[in-house]
Amino acid sequence: MLQNIGITNVEIAPDTRFDTVANNAQQPKQLPIIAHFKAHNTLFVAGSTWQPDEQLLAELINNTQLTHLIGFKWVLVPHEVGENHLLNIEQMLK
């Protein structure tokens, strides 16, 4: 695309984080415990979450007015996995 507008002095700098995610998506791992947990429900996975994310997700999960979310299964994977942080997340969830 750059060549099309006359820019030829370029260098490609790969993003190893993106490359890793793209490769993992092409070779997904089967996790029987997750498959069993999910069963026939819709699974929502939030990874590398931080406290503000977890507060928003807890509000969403705890909101009984959102009937279209009934039957969802939730997996929260916090960026920080210390015991106190996990306890705080548990306390936010009904």
Overall average pLDDT of the 27-53 stretch: 94
Q: How many domains does the chain have?
A: 1
- Quickly state the pLDDT bin for 7 (edges 50, 70, 90): very high
For residue 70, tell me if it sits in a domain.
yes
pLDDT tens digits for range 58-93:
999 999 888 787 889 999 999 999 999 999 999 999
Give me the half-sphere count of Cα atoms (radius 13 Å) on the Cβ side of residue 34.
11
For residue 83, tell me if it sits in a domain.
yes
Asked whether 44 and 70 are in contact (CB, 8 A), the reply is no
For residue 84, tell me if it sits in a domain.
yes
For residue 44, tell me if it sits in a domain.
yes
Report CA 51 to chain centroid distance, whole Å.
Answer: 14
- Burial zone of 92 (CB within 10 Å; 0-12 exposed, 13-18 middle, 19+ buried): middle
For residue 5, tell me if it sits in a domain.
no
Domain ranges, residue 35 = 28-92
Least confident segment among 25-29, 45-49, 78-82, 89-93: 25-29
